[in-house]
Structure formats: structure tokens, C-alpha cells
Chains A and B, each alone.
Chain A
């Protein structure tokens, strides 16, 4: 069996977060009743003309600068001609030969910490089409033109990705970036962020690309991964059984987890692109670019590098915590709430990172919400961490305190006080409990002393049980070893 190499390129459509449409004054808000956000321009009435929304251009330039791309001083809108009921003009205004953004690149960190650089061929502005509605209609189709004319940035990658995993990591990175830049809300359920995947395979070592299939309209990371997996397997199976891959557009059916042919190259439309004579070429000067550059936020990679440098975090942790502006801000707020006495800055930061990525993320996932809707504020979490650092409570008890905090919003101190969860650090008190436990378990004591060192854990458990988990674990270990006396686990 041949060794196949997978080649993937993505075309990501990011809906730009402008208030009005790209060529008309209609609102772009999602979810309005059908056709209530479609004016005469969107409806392509006779005589109407498009007028470019400068905000969309500004957002595209912002993206271009963020990926170190070249921003075209002159770009041109073209018409892509085809008939479809949700395309009122009979053409889509897009950019073809001269896009606004060309030749950028993006470093993507994979799960194993390796960094992959993906080339971005171009990013161009275009308008979205409307939607055809079939549900609840008999012998008829409805058309909703609310979405028609919504600005999109189509981000076209080089065929640089070699696995579904890489493709998803790249798509997630773009997703992170557009939200950092506040040019797209990234809402995939609403279709604000979606992609087409170009997939082909070739025998490893061969330079020439295999014939590709384009999988349309993937609107979740999971679907991208599954669709690519299916498509790769389909192509390899086809080639290994002596068949050939045909260039075609395919659709991913998430219910059946398969891709199927939409149309072949022969059936493809001839779009008859030509420059749109209703719109002037877009001229962008240095002053405009400088003004946009001045609005760039700290980018994800910059933030991750800073987290690693300033807080001593691993590259992986720094990457996770900078995956969204909001998460990064939350983490920084936790750290910023006065480093508790007894903890070094880095130690506290590492603890904060573990808690944000651990307990907090689990709670958010469980509630199916995100960091912006966290029920525990950075100040509350910081207050909890302070009690761990000053040994008022153990890490284990802290998890219970966190849960209580999550459900009723009280402060850590309040919960610890009210529930008597304060850690027992009084050696005398711990010793008293140890004595009681040892006295109650003579057989285990004998076994331990005769070499069953695993029973050390039994005694720890008994003491913890007796103290309601509040005994300081480190102290307990030390005192217990001394009391059990010269156990075999003790190295000489």
C-alpha cells in the first residue's frame, strides 16, 4: 500500500462585523424576520447602485496587517455572474484579479506544540448572498435577502496543510485572530465563520498535486475535521482501487458523515468575471494603512509570548490562555489581583493558569457558556487562590470551594468560614487525630510495620476522613511517617 500525503487548502469566509452591508445601508444584524433588512439596493431594483462601505475595507486592511500581508494600494471589485434566486442582481460583487490583501502567513501551534506556518494567498472582500427557504413551504421556495450584501472577507490559504488536524488548527487560529481584531464575531452557528476545504492526496515524495475536491460550506471545526477525514479516505480508496479523483465540488452531510458530489468541473458555472463598472477601484494610501495599524490590538502570538515571558508559562499554556482576548484578559485579571504573600509572581501565575484552564474551563464547558459569562469573577478566583497559597485550604478543598462559589457567588473566605473548611495546620491537632487512627487500626499498623508500605495511603485516607479533608497534606505526611515509625518507605 502506497504512503499517501494529504494536501489541504482552506477558503475561510469571515463575515465582517460592520453595522451595515457592504454596498447598502441596510443593517446586518442576525435573526431579523425575513426580508426586513433588505432595501432596494439589496433587492437589486432597476436603477440602484452599490456604494462601498469604507468600514469593510478598514477591517480587511486590519486583517492584512495582522498576518503581515501586503495591502494592495489598488484593488478592484469584479462581478461574478450566475443566476440563483438568492442572488438578486444575478451577479455577486467580489474581488477577483486584484484583491485587497495578498501574501500573508500565519504560525499555527499544533496540539503537540509543534509550530506550522501556513501561507495565506489572499484575502478579498465580497458580498454574501441571501438564503433560500424550503421548510414549511409546499411547491414553493422562499427567499430571505436579509443576508444578501453582508460583507465577507474570504481568506484563501496556500495548500500548505498536511492533515485534518493541521487544517483545524489553522482554522481555529484564524478564528482567534478575527475575533482579536474585532472584525468578525466568529459565530459559527449563525454562519459568521465558515469554510470550504480543498482536499487532495498524492503519493508521498511526489511534487505534483493530486486532483482536488472542494468541500463546501463547513461551519464547525468538528465538521471540517470529519469531512476531511472522510474525503481523504474516499480519495485514497478510489486511487488504490485503480480509479481517478475528479475535480468537483462536494457537500459534507454531517448526519451521514460523508461527502457527496454537488457538481463536476464540467458542470461548473462560467462566472464571466469582469471589473464592476459601478464601483471605482479602491485606492488605499499609506496614511490609511498607518491609521489602521494604530488600531491593531496585541495579537494572539504577541500575547502568548508575553505570557510565557512574564509569567513563566509553558508555550502550550500561554497559547491556550491567549486563544481569545477575553480569556487572556480574565487570566491577567486573576494574576493582577495582588499576588498573595508567600507566593512568587510566577508561582501565583502558574497556579492561576492551572485554575483557569482546569476548574474554570470545565465549569464553563459544563454550563455551555464562555468566559465572558463566567459566574466566578477574576477577583473571586484570585481570592480563592490566595487561600491555597497561604495554606488556609488544600487544593482539594479549594475545588469544593470553587464549586460553591460557582453556584452561589459567595467569596472564598465566606465559604471557607461558613463551612468550616479551613485547613488544619496545627501539628498538635493533626497528631491527635493520627494517634486515634493508629490506635483504632492495630492490624494495619502491624502490617505496615512488617513491610506493607502501601498501607501508608490507608492511614492518610483515614486521617483525612476524620478531619473532613482539612488536614494540611504536607504536614500530615510528615507527621504520619514519624508516628508510624521508620516505615519501609522511608529511605535511609
Chain B
């Protein structure tokens, strides 16, 4: 079955002419047509454009052009601007917004010959941990459609888990790739801040946002990151440092690799969840790695720190949605203030409004020092904790989430409980570090994720460690029933 093959295997079949990109694209389009209605993983399907891109890819293959993603279908999170295609960001505000340009991530994948099938549903403006804040309704978890897929890249995660595409793009501001990857049993990579361009990616919290990938394996993720990564002169925060050969690094030996167990991640973790991580540690030790417990004393402050920094930045980033130049505009505004108030009042959902208000508050005169400045100081302490830890160990390991997927509706009315879902993922964002979530077992029939965090620009090592784990396990090959 085509949807069970890896990107590497699909590439070989395309190159040999065994299959065409058009056939492959049709296969996934028909899966989407059949399976997506139960999942609501996509906001927009671009079938016609996909078939044209696939035909173009076939022509390039026939002309002898080679490339690991040439002719391979994908789904883009609807946060990436796609030229001529609606880019909604999961919001009513941009329900009518046809992007006039491609994000750098989109342009790079397009140039590599990858075929866009459509756009993935997401939490509104990437604000959420369950994909319930989307204007287009919740995405359902293919392992149990009564459960959330996580968020904010819930559509990308669910689509990858349901084998609606070989891979999907996502963004991770506080865990928005790793948490849904864990809850849907796929591999999710969040690169170092600055490794992948943010140009054309609609900003939530600029100092935290980073684009990454959902795939069925670390090996597939390496192929995709190879195309996405690299300096972009249009993004001042992208870093001009060479991109290593990620696929070539996958098979490196793990002898002598020092893995640190994040003590703070295991405090209060349920025994059966903790057991899965310890099983993984056994595998790493059998591969030659050594494990040692490390402590990051300031890490428990991650969630409150994040919920000051991220809303502060979002309150400013979302000011451009004012009903004047693009996006939702209210009917018959009486005056300028009415235009602003009603356009924004109607265009934004509750969670987005909550964060804009929180962010406006923490930046306001008289509160700035107590909240924003303090949070920046704590952020520095957390970053320093990670730096100290990486002086002792090569990688850090822990769970991706405290629990498996929860029921749709269970937490949506309790923001603080919802925010605590990202307790294990936020630290890496605050410090700008790369992290990967790998399927590592099941609890009550739902997948759980193992998280690896590395120093800045250690994606090659992270993917190497992830790949070697996946060579010894088959959790990442499991597909939900009905989607296999």
C-alpha cells in the first residue's frame, strides 16, 4: 500500500517509474476524500493544483531530475502562506484571505518538487493544545475520534497519523508539533529557533515560533528538514549557519552518547507513562548510550513564563488584523473605532482574545516590569539551565506530554489545565532548542511520545538518536485502525 511506504521508498518507486507522482497524489487525495470527513484534519483541499504539481514532478522525473521529495505529496499547516490559496490560520479573521505569496517553507518544498494536497486545520492562530479553538471545528484523533489530536498543529498530526499524506508541515511555539505528534503516534520535529525561516508563517509569538515537520519516521523527517532548513535573508532571526547532511547522519553509532533524564519531567508523572520512558532508556543503553539524571531547577517555571511572553508578542503581532487591508471586516462600520472593535470582535475566537488581553495587560505601563521583564529574566535562567545540562550530557530525554490524548471538550473551558498540557514542551521553545517527539508505546490504547531535546543546531544528532531508536522499535509503524 502506497500510504504505508516511507518517503525513501516512495522516492525509489517514483524514480524507477514503478509509480507516478500523479498516481501517488490520486491515492492520497482519495484517502482524504474518504477518511477526512471523520477527522476534519484539513481546512482546504487543493486537488486540482496538486495533480498539476504531480504531473510537473513526473515530467521532471522523466527528464532525469532527482530529489528526495520530488513528486512526494504533503499537507501544509494552514499557518503557512500559500500563493493563491486560502490561508486561514484556523480563524474566521482570515477565512477570506487568499495569500498573495508563498512562505519560504512552502517555496522551498515547492522547488524541491513536493506536491501540496491541501492545508491542515489548526488551533486558531496556533493558540491551543487540542485543536478545539479552530474556526473550522475540532480535529479528531484517528486513534479515537472522541479524543483530541493535540494542538496547535492538530490537523497536520491527525493527517499524518491517518496516512493522508507521507508528511505534513507544522509549527511549534510551545509544543505545537511535539505534543500533537505524541498524541497521534507520529514523529514530530521542532528544529532550533532560526534553523527554518519564519517568513510567510503567520506569527503567533515571534521569539518562540519555529516551523517543523510531522512524518512517519525520523528518517523521513530528516529528508524533509534537509529541504526546509537554511538561512533566509527575509527572516532576520534565521541563522546563517551551514545545514548538515541530516539523512547521512542517521546511522551514526550511539556508543558513548550521554543522555540526561530530566528529573523535573518525571516528578508527578504517572507510573505507566514513566515506565514507557524507562523502557526507551533500556533500548538506548543497549545501543551504547549512558544515562544520567539531570536537574533543570527553573524548568517548572516554563508554563507561567511562556504565558507571559507568548501572549505579549501575540497581542502585538495580531494588531495588523484590523479590518482595514485584508481579512474579516464587519458590516457597515459606523466609524473607525467601530470598524476595529467589531472586525476584531467578530473575527477572533475566545482563546485568541484571551491571549491578546493577557498580552496587552503584561505589556501595559505599570505591569511591564512585574510580568514581561520578569518573564524575560526567568526565560534567561531556563536557557542557562539547559546550557549547564548540555555541558554534562549530549541529549535530554523525557515524556512529551503528561497524559495521552484527552476527550474533546474535557479541558476547553479550563484554560490553565489546558496550558499545563505543554508543561514538558515549552522549555525547549523558551531556550530555542530543537526537540523531537517519537512514538514510544501506548496507554489505554492511545499513543504516547518520547521527547528528545538537544543543544542548538543539534538536529543531526537528535535525528540520529531518534532513528536508531526507531530501528529497534516499531511503535512508529503502528497505524490507527481503519487508517492502516
Contact A81 B236 (CB under 8 A): no
Report B78-100 CB contacts with A as 1/0, cut-off 8 Å.
Answer: 00110000010100001001011
Contact, CB under 8 Å: A81 / B207: no
Q: Indicate if A279 sits at the interface (CB-CB under 8 A).
A: yes
Given contacts A47-B199, A83-B322, A272-B360, contact A52 B316 (CB under 8 A): no
Indicate if the CB atoms of A44 and B363 lie closer than 8 Å: no
Binary flags per residue of A32-60, CB closer than 8 Å to B gives 1, else 0: 00000000100111111111100000000
Contacts A274-B372, A278-B206 given; does A43 touch B97 at CB 8 Å = no
- Please tell me if the beta carbons of A47 and B201 are within 8 angstroms of each other in the complex: yes
- Checking A45, A85, A90 against B336 with a beta-carbon cut-off of 8 angstroms, the contacting residue is A85
**Residues of B contacting A278 with CB < 8 Å?**
203, 206, 236-237
Question: Which residues of chain A from 86 to 116 have a CB within 8 Å of any chain B CB?
Answer: 88-91
Interface residues of B in 198-255 (CB under 8 A from A): 198-203, 205-207, 233-237
Q: Which residues of chain A from 264 to 301 have a CB within 8 Å of any chain B CB?
A: 270, 272-274, 277-280
Let me know if A357 is at the binding interface, CB within 8 A: no
For chain B, the count of residues having a C-beta within 8 Å of the partner chain is: 44
Given contacts A48-B200, A280-B236, contact A81 B320 (CB under 8 A): no
Q: Are B324 and A143 in contact (CB under 8 A)?
A: yes
Select one of A90, A273, A280 contacting B320, CB under 8 A: A90
- Asked whether A303 is an interface residue with its Cβ less than 8 Å from the other chain, the reply is no
Q: What's the nearest-Cβ distance from chain B to residue A452, in Å?
A: 81
Q: Which residues does chain B contribute within 8 Å of A46, judged by CB atoms?
A: 81, 87, 89, 94, 97, 99, 202-203, 320-321, 326-327
How near does chain B come to A386, taking the closest CB pair, in angstroms? 59
Contacts of A51 in B (CB 8 A): 233-236
In the complex, residue of chain A having the shortest beta-carbon distance to the beta carbon of B373: A274
Question: Beyond A50-B236, A85-B324, A88-B320, is A45–B100 a contact (Cβ under 8 Å)?
Answer: yes
When the two chains form the complex, which single residue of B89, B326, B368 contacts A45, counting CB atoms closer than 8 Å?
A: B326
Q: Contact at A79–B316, with CB atoms within 8 Å?
A: yes
Which of A45, A46, A83, A272: most chain B Cβ within 10 A? A46
CB closest chain-B residue, reference A41? B234
The listed residue with most B CB atoms (<10 A of its CB), out of A43, A48, A51, A88, is A48
B100 touches A279 (CB 8 A): no
Report whether A40 and B100 are in contact in the complex, using a CB–CB cutoff of 8 Å.
yes
Contacts of B319 in A (CB 8 A): 81, 83, 89-91
Distance A79 CA – B205 CA, assembled complex (angstroms):
14
Shortest Cβ gap from B96 to chain A (Å): 12
Is B392 interfacial (CB-CB < 8 Å)? no
Q: Tell me if A90 and B316 are in contact (CB < 8 A).
A: yes
Contact code string B353-383 (vs A, CB < 8 Å = 1, else 0): 0000000100111001000100000000000
> Which applies to chain B's interface (DSSP): helix, strand, loop or mixed?
loop
In this assembly, does B312 line the interface, its C-beta being within 8 Å of a C-beta of chain A?
yes
Q: Please determine whether B365 and A49 come into contact, CB atoms closer than 8 angstroms.
A: no
Interface residues of A in 310-341 (CB under 8 A from B): none
For A274, give its contact among B203, B320, B363 (CB under 8 Å): B363
Interface residues of B in 396-448 (CB under 8 A from A): none
Interface assignment of B481: CB less than 8 Å from any CB of chain A: no
Cβ A52 vs Cβ B236 within 8 A: yes
User: Count of A-B contacts with CB under 8 A?
Assistant: 98
Contact at A81–B99, with CB atoms within 8 Å? no
Query: Is the CB of B325 closer than 8 A to any CB of chain A?
Result: yes
| Residue B340, interface by CB 8 Å | yes
Contact residues in A for B340 (Cβ distance below 8 Å): 83
Hey, which chain A residues are within 8 Å of B199, CB to CB? 47-49
Q: How far is the CA of A90 from the CA of B100 in the complex (A)?
A: 21
B440 to chain A, nearest CB (A): 33
Q: B residues within 8 A CB of A81?
A: 315-316, 319, 363
CB distance from A92 to the nearest CB of B (A): 11
Find residues 98-124 in chain B having any chain A CB closer than 8 Å to their own CB. 99-101, 103
Assess the B313–A277 pair: CB atoms within 8 A: yes
Closest-CB distance, B201 to chain A (whole angstroms): 6
- Please report the C-alpha to C-alpha distance between residue A278 and residue B235 in the assembled complex, in whole angstroms: 8
Chain B minimum-CB-distance residue to A89: B320
Decide: B236 and A274 in contact? CB cutoff 8 A: no
CB distance from B32 to the nearest CB of A (A): 25
Least CB distance from A281 to B in Å reads 11
Scoring A residues 242 to 278 as 1 if CB is less than 8 Å from chain B, else 0, what string do you get? Answer: 0000000000000000000000000000101110011
Given the contacts A88-B320, A277-B207, A280-B237, A43 and B201 also touching, CB distance less than 8 Å: no
Scoring A89, A91, A274 by chain B CB atoms within 10 A of each residue's CB, the highest score goes to A274
In the complex, how many angstroms separate the beta carbon of A132 from the nearest chain B beta carbon?
Answer: 10
CA distance A40 to B202 in the complex (A): 13
Assess whether A274 is in contact with B326, with CB atoms less than 8 Å apart.
no
Closest residue on chain B to residue A79 by CB atoms: B316
CB contacts (< 8 Å) of B198 on chain A: these are 49
Name the distance in Å between A146's Cβ and chain B's nearest Cβ: 14
Name the B residues within 8 Å of A43 (CB-CB).
325
State in angstroms the CA–CA spacing of A270 and B198 once bound together: 29
Query: Complex: how many Å from CA A414 to CA B319?
Result: 70
Known: A79-B316, A88-B325, A143-B324. A272 touches B364 (CB 8 A): yes
Within 8 A of A (CB), among B294-353: 312-313, 315-316, 319-322, 324-327, 336, 340
Q: What chain B residues lie within 8 Å of A279 (beta carbons)?
A: 236-237
Within 8 A of B (CB), among A325-361: none
Chain B CB within 10 A, most for which of A43, A83, A277: A277
Residue of A nearest to B200 (CB): A47
Contacts of A89 in B (CB 8 A): 319-320
Contacts of A44 in B (CB 8 A): 320, 325
Q: Contact: A270 with B320, CB < 8 Å?
A: no
- Which residue of A is nearest B89, CB measured? A46
Nearest residue (CB) in B for A80 is B316
Q: How far is A278 from B236 in the complex, measured between Cα atoms in Å? A: 7
Name which residue of chain A comes closest to B372, CB basis: A274
- In the complex, chain B residues whose CB is within 8 Å of the CB of A280: 236-237
Do B207 and A49 have beta carbons less than 8 Å apart?
A: no
Which residues of chain B (154-207) have a CB below 8 Å from chain A? Answer: 198-203, 205-207
| C-alpha spacing A222/B372, complex, angstroms | 44
A278 vs B336: C-alpha distance when bound (angstroms)? 28
B205 (CB) vs chain A CBs: closest residue: A277
Shortest distance from the beta carbon of A79 to any chain B beta carbon, whole Å: 5
Chain B residues with CB under 8 A of A48: 199-200
Residues in chain A near residue B324, CB distance under 8 A: 85, 88, 143
A270 to B315, CA, bound (A): 14
User: For residue A51, which residue of chain B has the nearest CB?
Assistant: B236
A/B interface sample: 25 pairs, CB < 8 A: A45-B81, A45-B325, A45-B326, A46-B94, A46-B202, A46-B321, A47-B103, A47-B200, A48-B199, A49-B234, A51-B234, A51-B235, A52-B236, A90-B320, A143-B324, A272-B316, A272-B365, A272-B368, A274-B316, A274-B363, A274-B368, A277-B205, A277-B206, A278-B206, A279-B236
Which B residues form the contact surface with A (CB < 8 A)? 80-81, 87, 89, 94, 97, 99-101, 103, 198-203, 205-207, 233-237, 312-313, 315-316, 319-322, 324-327, 336, 340, 360, 363-365, 368, 372
- Beyond the given pairs A43-B325, A83-B340, 5 more chain A to chain B contacts, judged by CB atoms under 8 angstroms and listed by A's residue number, are A46-B326, A47-B99, A48-B199, A278-B203, A279-B237
A-B residue pairs, 3 tightest by C-beta: A90-B319, A272-B363, A277-B207
